[in-house]
Amino acid sequence: MTKKKVALLIETSNRYGRDLLYGIRDWIREHENWGIRLVSHDRGESIPGWLKNWHGDGVIARVDSLEISAQLKASGLPVVDVSDERKLSDFPSVGIDNRAVAELAFAHLTDKGFRSLAYCGDPRFLWSQERKEAFLHLAASKKVECQVFSELETGKIGSEEEIQKLARWLRELTKPVGVFACYDSRAQQVIEACLDANLQVPDEVSVLGVDNDEVLCELCTPPLSSIQLNARKAGFEAASLLSAVMEGRSPRSNRRLVVPVTVIERQSSDPIAVSDPQIAAALGFIRQHACEGINIKDVLRAVPMSRTLFAIRFKKLVGRTPHEHIIKVRLDASINLLLTTELSVEAIAEVSGFSRAAYFSTVFHREKGMTPSAFRRQHHSRGIAA
């Protein structure tokens, strides 16, 4: 059988785009060895000239403009769209469930006790508008105050003028406030604006992004909390969908949505820290060492105080016991490894700080309602039917 040739018009400069490519690769390894044409391609960029005379079989692309949509239609090739700008094209598509993204953000911030929320989006993108609308709806339904940043016109995103406008907006918000930014770069701009406005992150303004681009998140000061999407699964779904279209099969759906996984919590959305220096130090120690198999005695050696008093103060401020918090940090680490690596469950248990794989599986099932292996099958790119 002749190997099919597929072009990938997906940017590689950000975490989301790279994870899409990993998911496509996973599908190829499991199903059909396509010949891939992948060249450097930025979001919104016109399709490359070579595509007009290319004798290929299909395309997976981020269709971010009407121009790109028209150019791809003119090619006559089967196309699967992996952007969330579905109003710009009528191709079969795979995207993120943006309502579910907003639900994760809302739950994360309100679980920390915030009654003042805000949303900072990007007006250029439909998915940003969808996240905003869902977030506002949730806030209204729970009678939680929620403000929205009134963005400057397209083209001014991230400019010095806009950072200053962001700073003025942030000063006017009811404090403390939890800010949900539509993606990590936007969240980084919010943190920069807080610096300009002399606002403390996270005690006055807590910030949550989307995409969990680890390099960008760790470059922020303080490190940025972010929602872990599942672009790898989206890439797998896109390859599955394109295969069906190229073979003339009717796919089960021309529009597939992939739900996000979890919030990867870092310091930017941890406002508890400033209210009690000793508990802040304990939280920092746990965040840094939880996966090394520490226990409460280790924490108290680092932050000397009465065990009883520590437990009382920790539970009051954090909402869970020190042991429960150590387990939560380990589970968050294990989830990231389940989704982004091929490590065995036994290896993940060890790397995440659990004493035994059986104990890890028991704790994971108790907290997530399924085993680690079942969670990986459900959320990882592999094992999805066409």
- Per-residue pLDDT at 272: 60
CA gap 17, 64 in Å, rounded? 13
Do the beta carbons of residue 299 and residue 286 sit within 8 Å? yes
* Residue at 386 is within a domain: no
* Residue at 83 is within a domain: yes
- Per-residue pLDDT at 274: 47
Are 365 and 309 contained in the same domain?
Answer: yes
- For the CA atoms of 159, 96, 218, 108, the dihedral, rounded to the nearest 10 degrees, stands at 100
CATH number, domain of 254, equals 3.40.50.2300
Domain that holds residue 168: 98-230+264-269
Are 83 and 110 contained in the same domain?
Answer: no
Are 223 and 237 contained in the same domain?
Answer: no
- Per-residue pLDDT at 372: 93
* Residue at 384 is within a domain: no
This prediction has a pTM of 0.78
Are 237 and 293 contained in the same domain?
Answer: no
Residues 6+ away with beta carbon under 8 Å from 378: 370
Do the beta carbons of residue 256 and residue 93 sit within 8 Å? yes
Are 150 and 180 contained in the same domain?
Answer: yes
The single residue listed with the structure tokens 């919010």 is 190
- Per-residue pLDDT at 306: 94
In the structure encoding, which two tokens stand for residue 374, read together? 């079942």
Are 180 and 328 contained in the same domain?
Answer: no
- Per-residue pLDDT at 386: 34
At 56, is the secondary structure helix, strand, or coil?
A: coil
Domain count, the chain: 3
Are 65 and 143 contained in the same domain?
Answer: no
Q: Beta strand pairing status for 35-38 and 58-61?
A: unpaired
Mean pLDDT by 10 residues, the chain (386 residues): 89 87 92 88 76 91 86 91 80 94 94 88 91 97 93 69 94 95 96 96 94 92 93 93 90 83 87 70 88 94 94 86 92 84 91 93 91 82 40
- Report in angstroms the alpha-carbon separations of 322 from 150, 184, 299, 360: 40, 29, 9, 18
Are 50 and 162 contained in the same domain?
Answer: no
Are 310 and 355 contained in the same domain?
Answer: yes
